[in-house]
Amino acid sequence: MAKKPIDVMCTAFRDGFQSVVGARAFTKDFIPAVKASCDAGINHFESGGGARFQSLFLYCGENAFDMMDQFREAAPEANLQTLARGINVVGLDSQSSDVIDMHAKMFKKHGVTTIRNFDALNDVNNLIYSGQCIKKHNLKHEIVVTMMALPPGCEGAHDANFYEGIVKQIIAADVEFDTICFKDASGTCTPAVVYETIKRARKLLGPDMPIRMHTHETAGTSVLVYKSALDAGANGIDLSMRPMSGGTGQPDILTMWHALRGTEYDLQLDPDKVREAEAVFKDCMHEYFMPPEATAVEPIIPWSPMPGGALTANTQMLRDNGLMDKYPEIIVKMKDTVSRGGFGTSVTPVSQFYFQQAFNNVMFGDWEKIAEGYGKMVLGYFGKTPVSPDPEIVKLASEQLKLEPTTRDPRAINDEDPTKGLAIAKTKLEEAGITDLSEENVFIAATCADKGIQFLQGKYTIGVRKNEAAAPAATASAEGPVAMTVKLNGKDYNVTLEGEKAVVNGKSYDFGVSEGTVEQAGSAPVAAAGSGEMIKAQMPGNVIRLEVAVGDSVEEDQPLLVVEAMKMETEIKSRAAGTVGSILVDAGDKIVAGQDLIEIV
């Protein structure tokens, strides 16, 4: 009896990176493993998009389009698939129509074959225009139903009846698709629900439509889920390779091959050749820091459904900001943000909204500070949630964000928003002094906002974590780094000197010391801290931009600067009217909780 062929998409080089190392990996480090995987017979890869678009600019100092070109060169015949978030495409915020169309155009230009297109709210309306653009630019369109298990004690969505209804909406919608994927980013959907859902979907879609299942090992049930999906009629699954498999990632190709031995299913791959490719991949990645939470099953995830790809991205950011000790509290608080937020699927960007709100609930007190993304979600600005959010939370979000609830099409709202779209992105590039106004650069500015523009200006911080090499023994000429605290105008600065580098409050500078003084014409005087009211940082983060200058008059509640932490931009406002007496930080500075920022006199 002939075996049933199963299409394997290797996720190691996108979701694997996102789920295990927070999407932070240098292209040069992994391209040899892509080539080895092709030699092993793998011909379908998840190669970019999702968090692996933004992370290259934010943490790797690389252009995502350059990475895509190198991936295509390494895998010239493969089906290269990327991930898109419906009308958000590859941004955390939703986009206007011209940006959505440009996404498909640019990804086609840079070697992509297929785009997996999902909406975290399962609002099919958000998949129609984005899907039409994908087909318009001659790409294959994989449409998605997003899945998860609701936390114990919650009900009203995310069962087989709910998912069957979404499939029926997709069939009725004005959008063409080549394949359909059932995507469980948190790995919490139960095998029984997966089996019943795909069985019903196969009946609705007919025998010829390719059906794919995507899950994670985070809750420890991925192999059983995949077997249930195959038994119900799926003919494609997503698998990864060591060291980017298991734990928060997909199960390993070899693990699934072993689980299916003696069954009717054939992964169409030689396990010995895959072992050789994995050996190359392990060697490529041997210097990388593997977060311990990424390498193990997390039994509490069904209560707090955090996707593998978001879990490590967030823990890496917590490490960046010295807040990893808060992680256990935050993950516990997630149940509340999910249960009161309308049951959107815990996958980016909604998973990030859940985490950001849980983070705020830990840092500022329960519901004292509504995260912008979470608030806009419960107010309807990203589409319709599966069930109505808690009215109390809707009221708080409306009051704090000064927005009314809406039922309008979010894309129509975005098209009317003068701060969104390609035209304003081009203007921002010109204002930043960037003369290369290529379609790629305009798209980067539109989807990555200030951080994308800073990258194009050459201003970025490398956030890739590798294991630290053992420090060399001290010699007479190399005594190692010197750390000190410098007080200037009443403000403390943490300074580390090593070689010709000085790190001041987390920001690196070249420095040198010589005898004598140098005359500096036209130097601006340093603004000194006086006896006015000092605006302090409430939590760690990075200064994105200053909104005022020394000497400016400001009103109460006027924004002074914008700080980013945990993918949230927060305006720091003046607590009183007055004049800006001193500014003690600059754009790009890393700040710590309690640090002096701006003095109002």
Mean pLDDT along residues 259-275: 98
Per residue in 424-461, pLDDT (tens digit) is 999 999 999 999 999 999 999 999 999 999 999 998 88
Token reading at 215: 């899950």
Mean pLDDT along residues 24-30: 97
Per residue in 518-565, pLDDT (tens digit) is 544 333 333 444 457 899 887 778 888 899 999 999 998 898 998 877
- Type of residue numbered 195: Y
pLDDT given for residue 491 in this prediction: 53
Q: Would you say 8 and 237 are in contact if contact means Cβ atoms under 8 Å apart?
A: yes
Token reading at 96: 């206007």
User: Which residue shows structure tokens 């391209």?
Assistant: 31
Mean pLDDT along residues 187-204: 98
Least confidently predicted of 6-10, 132-136, 585-589:
585-589
pLDDT given for residue 28 in this prediction: 98
Tell me how far apart the alpha carbons of residues 502 and 496 are, in angstroms, rounded to a whole number.
Answer: 6
Mean pLDDT along residues 106-134: 98
pLDDT given for residue 117 in this prediction: 98
Burial (CB < 10 A; 0-12, 13-18, 19+), residue 275, is middle
CA angle 325, 326, 327 (to 5 degrees): 95
- The percentage of residues in the chain with a pLDDT greater than 70, rounded to a whole number, is 89
Between residues 545 and 362, which one has the greater pLDDT? 362
Between residues 490 and 384, which one has the greater pLDDT? 384
CATH of domain 533-600: 2.40.50.100
Confidence check: pLDDT of 596 > 60: yes
pLDDT given for residue 476 in this prediction: 34
Tell me how far apart the alpha carbons of residues 99 and 84 are, in angstroms, rounded to a whole number.
Answer: 12
Confidence check: pLDDT of 146 > 60: yes
Radius of gyration over alpha carbons of the chain, in Å? 25
Confidence check: pLDDT of 275 > 50: yes
Q: List the chain domain ranges.
A: 4-287, 533-600
Give per-residue burial for 147-183: e unless 16+ CB within 10 Å, then b.
Answer: bbbbbeeeeebbbbebbbebbeebeeeebebebbbbb
Confidence check: pLDDT of 568 > 90: no
Least confidently predicted of 6-10, 77-81, 355-359:
355-359
Tell me how far apart the alpha carbons of residues 460 and 223 are, in angstroms, rounded to a whole number.
Answer: 40
Least confidently predicted of 91-100, 219-228, 404-413:
91-100
Confidence check: pLDDT of 82 > 70: yes
Mean pLDDT along residues 362-375: 94
Q: Which CATH class is domain 4-287?
A: alpha beta
Tell me how far apart the alpha carbons of residues 29 and 6 are, in angstroms, rounded to a whole number.
Answer: 30
User: Which residue shows structure tokens 């035209």?
Assistant: 423
pLDDT given for residue 472 in this prediction: 45
Global confidence as pTM: 0.83
Tell me how far apart the alpha carbons of residues 484 and 585 are, in angstroms, rounded to a whole number.
Answer: 19
- The percentage of residues in the chain with a pLDDT greater than 90, rounded to a whole number, is 72
* DSSP-assigned letters across all residues of 310-370: HHHHHHHHHHHTT-GGGHHHHHHHHHHHHHTTT---SSTTHHHHHHHHHHHHHHH-TTTS-
